[in-house]
Structure formats: C-alpha cells, structure tokens
Amino acid sequence: MSERINSAWSPSSREKERAQARKRISRKQAVVAAVSSIIVIGSLLTIVVTSPGWAVVKKTFFDINYGREVFPTVISGLWINLQLTFIGGACIGVIALGLALMRTTKSPALTPFRFLATAYVDIFRGAPLILIILLVGFGVPALRLHGISSNVIFLGTVAVVLTYSAYVAEVIRSGILSIHPSQRAAARSLGLTSGQTMRYVVLPQAIRRVVPPLLNDFVSLLKDTGLVSILGVTDAVRAAQINASRTFNYTPYVVAAILFLLITIPMTRYTDRAIRQRTNAQNAEGAI
Amino acid sequence: MSYVLELSHIRKSFGNELVLNDLSLSVQEHTATVLIGASGSGKSTLLRCINLLESIDDGQIFLDGVEISDPLINVDEVRRKLGMVFQSFNLFPHKTVLENITLAPIKVQLKSKEEAVDAAMTLLKRFDLADKADQYPDRLSGGQQQRVAIIRSLAINPRLLLLDEITSALDPVLVNEVLSIVRDLKSDGMTMVLATHEMGFATQVADEVCFLESGNILERGTAQEVLHNPKNLKTQDFLKRVHQAGRL
Ligand SMILES: Nc1ncnc2c1ncn2[C@@H]1O[C@H](COP(=O)(O)OP(=O)(O)OP(=O)(O)O)[C@@H](O)[C@H]1O
Ligand SMILES: [Mg+2]
C-alpha cells in the first residue's frame, strides 16, 4: 500500500543543490533559445527587407491603408466561409456516420449498401476536391434538373459535403474498428442486439476516440471552403480576388490569409491540446 | 433427470487446430461445474461456444432442453438467459459502474430505469460496492472491477452463469474477494460453469470437476476424486505441475 505524503518533509541539502543546478541549466537553455531565435528570424527579415524588390512588395502586398479599405468586404466574405463550414459540417457529420455504420455492418441485408458506401468513399476520397467542386458546380446546373437549385453557394456546399463525408466516414470507421472485440463480446453476452451494441457500447467509445482527428478535419474544412470561390461564390477568397484584380494590389489576399489564420490557429491549438489530453487519458485507461 | 445445460459431441476448430473434439457435458440445476486444464486446452473456447459467441463445427447444445445450436434460434434471446464473466474484465469504460450494470436490464429486459437502478443498488450493496456506483471502471481496483462484472451479468437474472478464469488477472489478495462472491452465488443455488486455475477454490465450490485435455474431458468427477485422487496419468501430471506452481 502506498505511503501518505509526509507533510514534515523538507528537501535535503543535496536536493537543494540539484534544484539549483536544474534552474541554472534551464536558464542557460532559455538564453540559447532566445539568441538563436533572434539570429534566425532577424536574418530572415533582413534578407526580405533588403531584397531589391522589397519596396514594391511592401506596396503591393502590405498596403495598410488599402487593407483597411477592403477589410469589410473580405470579412463579409469570410462570413460565407463560416456559414459553409458550420452548415456543411453538420451535414458531413450525419452522412459520414451513416457511411461508417454501413461500412462496418455485417448484416447480410445491408450488403449492397456496404458495397455502395465503400465505392462512395473510394471515389470521393480519391478525387481532388477542386475537381468535385467544378463537376458539381458546373455539371449539375447543366443537367437542368427541375427542383435542383443552381445556386452556387448551395452547389459548392454540396461538393464540399460530398468529399468531406468520405474523409470523416473513414475516421469514424477507424474509431469503430479500434474498439476491442471484447467490448462487443461483453455487450452481446448480456443479450444486447448488434444494433444496441453499436449504439450503446461501441459508438460512444469510438466517437470519443476520434474527436481530435475530427477537429483537424474541421480546420481543413474551413480552409477548403475557400475553394468554392472558383464557382464565383463571394467568400473571403473571392472578395479578395475581386479587389486585387481591380487595383493590381494584392493586399486583400494578405488580409484574407490573416483572417483565416485568426480562426484556424486557435482551432489547431485547441485540437493539439485535445489530442494530448486524449492520449494521456487513454494511457491511464490502459489497454482499453 | 433434466439438465440446465447439455453439450453433446461438440467439435470446434480454429483453422487446422482442433480445439474441442467430441466433447459432451451435462450440467444439473443448482450445481457448479468446474473446468480445469492447461492453458490452451479450450476452456474459454468451450464457454464461448455455450454463449454462442463462437459457432461450433458439430454437435448440439441444449439449454433447458431447447437446442440453442440450431441456426434458426434467436441468439440474443439465448444470451439473455446466460450470464458470462470474462477472463479480463470487459467493463464498458465510458459508463459508470451503475450504468454498466443497468444497461442490459433497461435496454434488453425493458425494465424501467428506477427498477433497474434499485435492483443494481441492491446487488452492489450486497457485494459491498454501493459507494462505487457512480465511479468509472478505470478508477476501480482489479478485484472491484471483476466483482462489478459479475454483478453486471447477475443483473439479467441468468439461468446459467459462465465464469471464465475470473481471477487470473488478479493478485492473490483480490482473488479472495471475487471468489467469496462466487461462493455466495453457489449457496444461493445459482447454476454455474466456471473455468479456473484456483484448485483450492475448485475444491470448495465444485459439484463436478472436468479436466480438459486435447479437446476432450479426460477425467470428471467430484473435486475429491479428480483433484485429490486423479486416476488418469495426464490429470496427475497436470495437477503435479499446478502443485509445483503453488496453486493447490
Ligand atoms: N479466435 C481464435 N482464433 C484462432 N485460434 C483460437 C481462437 N481462440 C482460441 N484459439 C485457440 O484455441 C486454443 C484454446 O484456447 P482457449 O482460449 O479456449 O484456451 P484456455 O483453455 O481458455 O486457455 P487459458 O487457460 O490460457 O485461458 C488455443 O490454442 C488458442 O490458440
Ligand atoms: Mg481461457
């Protein structure tokens, strides 16, 4: 049995020496890191700023006044990207879950669905997103089907949802497969049907396991919504493009990039933290 | 004489490996049948076949006279009558102790939540685990986890309880708290089939001991007969090795 921590403990002189030494070492490491960062970043900046074209680049990419001027149109474009991300994200979640369940089912009645789901995932995971966007965005309106909107925002969202559902389905499926068969055996031996076993035992654990990779995909989704600009949707990228081509000043692109980064960097930081916490928790759980 | 469980001429192989070969066994109500045998002799496989977690290659299995090895049988209904506790605990890590126990009563037996919780709490109190009801399994000791696993399988009021080396993942101190539950169940009249390496425990609870070797029951009888006066040379050899390992 473990001993209680003794509150009367005070560090020995040897331990005090070691603590001193550790402090010295870490101080030295901090100094080295700072110096090396200053040298590396400083020389990079110097190379850029002293380059022959810097004056021109500064004017065409980093024109602060122009940046301020285009900021409202770019940010209203970004609002489209965000809407696309959240509405698309919800659809993706539902479709991907369905695909993952179809691919992991063993029920013979669902064999054709399993086959179709596999084909679907293969196709949409294998084809470049930009091609899918072009095909859906220009192909579907050409069919002139009744009742199918030819709104580019709608079609762009559909294309992104089609592709991302395939990615996300694979992530969820890998989560389902990562649950140890003994969990299934235990549930079935209690009399739960295979559907109940999936719903109450396998899926909750699987989803928990894949939350971090799904957050990664969510960040990619936000970035990739920028691709629908090729259909003429006035999202942040397109708004920047319109302004840039009007004045031949590329500052709007930089504004758009910074706005995307302002959203994605906190998201990736959060994801990294979630992954770390998840790993720690799993280690505590041992083999399960 | 009617039996709770009857196995007749069971055959089971994995690939080229014949694990159970023409094995027959009958289990009477309110008795404990103990399976012993070397590692790999097929004890777990036999229990999994009874629970229909593995399909058999040949032979028949009857539960209360009904053939459950019939491919047309509803396996979920059969499993509701059988409780199984596994070698490693297999609790659901995302559910609390109480949720682990009430899942099957609520979803399978369609009991109301209150009823299921009441029944679960009664069992938890009886086995001294009431204070752990809201804990997650990974916060419990191995012995506590295994006791919860036993309670979970009792909560569906099984006709027959299958226990697969429920103490093999535990240190000797924890073994006793788990075995005392089994002793209690035995005195309650629960019908059980259990695989174990604990010969002392087998002596205490077994009405019949079966020694498994090369896919069949080589010797069977009371604990006194099989464990203390084995007739078969292989049984003697096995027990000698167990004895040397200090487990008798
Ligand atoms: N799913 C499987 N696939 C292939 N072979 C298997 C499978 N399950 C068990 N076996 C094999 O069947 C044989 C019997 O295994 P089983 O687990 O029933 O032994 P056991 O008597 O329970 O052993 P232990 O005392 O170590 O638990 C072993 O040789 C094992 O390798
Ligand atoms: Mg075993």
Q: How confident is the model at residue B118 (pLDDT cuts 50, 70, 90)?
A: very high
pLDDT in tens, A37-82: 999 999 999 998 888 888 888 888 888 888 888 889 889 999 999 9
Percent with pLDDT over 70 in chain A: 94
Q: Best mutation site among B19, B51, B166, B167 for ligand 1, i.e. most ligand atoms within 8 A of its Cβ? A: B19
The CA-atom distances, in angstroms, between A236 and each of A77, A225, A254, B14 are: 4, 10, 11, 60
Residues 6+ apart with CB under 8 A from A222: A81, A82, A85, A260, A263, A264, A267
Please judge whether A189 and B91 are an interchain contact, meaning their C-beta atoms are less than 8 angstroms apart.
Answer: no
Domain boundaries, chain A: 13-50, 55-285
pLDDT over 90 at A184, yes or no: yes
Output phi, psi for B222, to 5 deg.
-70, 165
pLDDT in tens, B161-178: 999 988 877 777 778 888
Percent with pLDDT over 90 in chain A: 51
Output phi, psi for B91, to 5 deg.
-70, 160
Average model confidence (pLDDT) for chain B? Answer: 89
pLDDT over 90 at B233, yes or no: no
Percent with pLDDT over 90 in chain B: 49
User: Which of A144-148, A186-190, B213-217 is least confident?
Assistant: A144-148
pLDDT over 70 at A3, yes or no: no
Report CA(B213)–ligand 2 centroid distance (Å). 13
What average pLDDT does range B67-95 have in this prediction? 89
Q: How confident is the model at residue B203 (pLDDT cuts 50, 70, 90)?
A: confident
User: What per-residue confidence (pLDDT) applies to B234?
Assistant: 87
Q: Report the alpha-carbon distance of residue B81 to residue B159 in Å, rounded.
A: 5
Q: CB of B45 closer than 6 A to ligand 1? A: yes
Report CA(B32)–ligand 2 centroid distance (Å). 18
Q: Report the alpha-carbon distance of residue B235 to residue B194 in Å, rounded.
A: 18
What residue owns the CA closest to ligand 1's atom 6? B14
Nearest chain B alpha carbon to A284: B138
pLDDT in tens, B14-52: 988 899 999 999 999 999 999 998 888 999 999 999 999
Query: Closest ligand to B46 CA?
Result: 1
Amino acid B222 reads T
Average model confidence (pLDDT) for chain A? Answer: 88
Domain boundaries, chain B: 1-81+159-248, 91-157
What average pLDDT does range A93-107 have in this prediction? 91
Q: How confident is the model at residue A288 (pLDDT cuts 50, 70, 90)?
A: very low
User: What per-residue confidence (pLDDT) applies to A116?
Assistant: 93
User: What per-residue confidence (pLDDT) applies to A283?
Assistant: 54
pTM: 0.80
Residues 6+ apart with CB under 8 A from A24: none
Q: CB of B186 closer than 6 A to ligand 1? A: no
Q: Please give the ipTM for the structure prediction.
A: 0.85
User: What per-residue confidence (pLDDT) applies to A7?
Assistant: 67
| Domain B1-81+159-248: which CATH number of 3.40.50.1580, 1.10.3720.10, 3.40.50.720, 3.40.50.300 | 3.40.50.300
Asked if A141 and A164 count as a contact pair (C-beta separation under 8 A), the reply is no
Query: Looking at beta carbons, which residues of chain B come within 8 Å of A182?
Result: 86, 88, 90
Q: Report the alpha-carbon distance of residue B20 to residue B54 in Å, rounded.
A: 12
User: What per-residue confidence (pLDDT) applies to A5?
Assistant: 62
- The alpha helices in A105-200, defined as continuous H runs, are 111-126, 129-134, 140-143, 152-178, 181-189, 194-196
pLDDT over 80 at B187, yes or no: yes
Q: Best mutation site among B44, B196, B218 for ligand 1, i.e. most ligand atoms within 8 A of its Cβ? A: B44
Q: Give the minimum alpha-carbon distance from B148 to chain A in angstroms, rounded to a whole number.
A: 13
**Between A and B, how many CB-CB pairs are < 8 A?**
66
pLDDT over 80 at B246, yes or no: no
Q: How confident is the model at residue A1 (pLDDT cuts 50, 70, 90)?
A: very low
pLDDT over 80 at A6, yes or no: no
For residues B207 and A107, which has the higher predicted lDDT (pLDDT)? B207
Output phi, psi for A91, to 5 deg.
-60, -40
What average pLDDT does range A272-283 have in this prediction? 71
Q: Report the alpha-carbon distance of residue B50 to residue B57 in Å, rounded.
A: 13
What average pLDDT does range A214-221 have in this prediction? 90
The CATH homologous superfamily for domain A55-285 is MetI-like (1.10.3720.10)
Q: Is A244 on the interface with B (CB under 8 A)?
A: no
Please judge whether B93 and A187 are an interchain contact, meaning their C-beta atoms are less than 8 angstroms apart.
Answer: no
The tokens describing A178, both together, are: 């990562």
Q: How confident is the model at residue B134 (pLDDT cuts 50, 70, 90)?
A: very high
Q: Best mutation site among B11, B13, B14 for ligand 1, i.e. most ligand atoms within 8 A of its Cβ? A: B14
pLDDT over 80 at B247, yes or no: no
Which helix (H) or strand (E) segment holds residue B220: the answer is strand B216-221
What residue owns the CA closest to ligand 1's atom 17? B44
pLDDT over 60 at B132, yes or no: yes
User: What per-residue confidence (pLDDT) applies to A2?
Assistant: 45
User: What per-residue confidence (pLDDT) applies to B227?
Assistant: 84
Q: Residue A72 in 3-state DSSP?
A: helix
The tokens describing A208, both together, are: 């928990």
Q: Which of A1, A176, A189 to mutate to test the interface with B (most CBs of B within 10 A)?
A: A189
Asked if B150 and B186 count as a contact pair (C-beta separation under 8 A), the reply is no
User: What per-residue confidence (pLDDT) applies to A4?
Assistant: 58
Asked if B42 and B212 count as a contact pair (C-beta separation under 8 A), the reply is yes
